[in-house]
Structure 1
């Protein structure tokens, strides 16, 4: 029976997935274990940001057959709803030059000619969700000007974790996937919009993760 690791940054995002099921392990990274749909699941509430996400992926992903992430994100011009994350990059990894910031694929040597900066997810099994490239970084984006800059990278969504999960999965040699649902538009209203839409968006992403597991 396959072992799957599912990461969520926030408790609300983790608890939205197969709610009120499984056994819990308390600890620095809270875990919930359950068996469903012919899979052994470990759901880890990793915490916010790239370091927390990569730490959890490294600690628990080595024994997993697949690393997943569920949860929420901001929109960079994308419509509301849930998205299959086809590509992820880290928008704050690169090199600072006079008057410019040159982005590289996270973990690559940040010198010379920059190649594609993104990581590619496993193939979509046919969920019917729109595909997106997500830009991840250790900042909550609540600025239209910053959002426009991230759009120049081909990103239509923004968060603080998926790019790091993708990098960790690549280092471990594991396939990865993520489904995220929009809470806000990465503008000056994003703080309030995120809080208002967190539970709805978390459940939206979780429903599609549950559908995804049925297709594996």
Structure 2
């Protein structure tokens, strides 16, 4: 039976997936384990930010055949709804140069010519969701100027974790995918919008993850 590790930053995001099912382990990541659609699932609440996401993924991915991430994100011009994350990058990894922050793919040597900064997800199995590039970093983006800078990287969504999970999967040689749903527009209203829309968006992403699992 294939084993799938699913990460969510927040309890609301993890609990929305197969709500009320499975048994929960004691431990730092509140891992809920269950079998569904012929798969062995471990749903972990990793906590906010790239370090938490990478720590959780690295600690739990050993026996997993695939890493998935569910949850919420901010929009950099994308319409409301859920998105298939086709590419992920870490927007705060790179080199500070005079008048310029030059971005490199996380883990690459940040000197010299910079190639593509993103990690590519597994192929979309045909869910019909719009595709997006997400920019991940250890800050909650609630500023139109910062959002515009990230949009210039070709990103249409922003969060704090997917780029780190993608890096872990790449280092471990495992396929990864993520589905995220929009809570806010990365502007000065984002704090309130995030809290107002968290549960709704978490459920939207979880529903699409459940559809994805049916196709694996």
Same fold (TM > 0.5): yes
CA offsets, 1:115-142, max 9 Å, x none? 0000000000000000000000000000
- Counterpart check, 1:125 vs 2:121: no
Which residue is equivalent to 2:46?
46
Aligned position for 2:139: 139
* Distance in 2 between residues matched to 1:33 and 1:62, nearest whole Å: 15
Any idea what the Cα deviations from partners look like across 1:33-82, whole Å, max 9, x if unmatched? 00010000000000000000001110111210000000000000000000
Alignment partners' CA distance in 1, 2:15 and 2:113: 43
Moved over 2 A (4+): none
Aligned to 1:167: 167
Aligned residues: 216
What is the aligned-residue RMSD (CA, Å)? Answer: 0.4
Q: Quick one: distance in 1 between partners of 2:144 and 2:36?
A: 41
Partner of 1:205: 205
Partners of 2:127 and 2:97 in 1: CA distance: 42
- Where 1:34 maps in the other structure, the secondary structure is strand
Deviation, structure 1 residue 28: 1.3
Residue 185 of structure 1: aligned partner = 185
The whole-number CA distance in structure 2 between the counterparts of 1:73 and 1:210 is 18
Q: Which residue is equivalent to 1:157?
A: 157
* Partners of 1:181 and 1:88 in 2: CA distance: 15
Gap regions ≥5 residues in structure 2 = none
- SS of the aligned residue for 1:126 comes to coil
CA distance in 1, matches of 2:14, 2:23: 13
2 CA distance for matches of 1:30 and 1:7? 11
Matching residue of 1:35 = 35
Deviates more, 1:55-64 or 1:108-117: 55-64
Shift of 1:26: 2.3
Gaps of 5+ in 1: none
Look up the SS of the partner of 1:138 in the other structure: coil
Deviation at 1:180, TM superposition (A): 0.1
Residues 66-120 of structure 1 deviation map (CA, whole Å, 9 limit, x = unaligned): 0000000000000000000000000000000111100000000000000000000
Secondary structure, in 3 states, of the residue corresponding to 2:32? Answer: strand
SS where residue 111 of structure 2 aligns? coil
Is the partner of 1:142 in helix, strand or coil? coil
Aligned partners of 1:195 and 1:16: how far apart in 2? 15
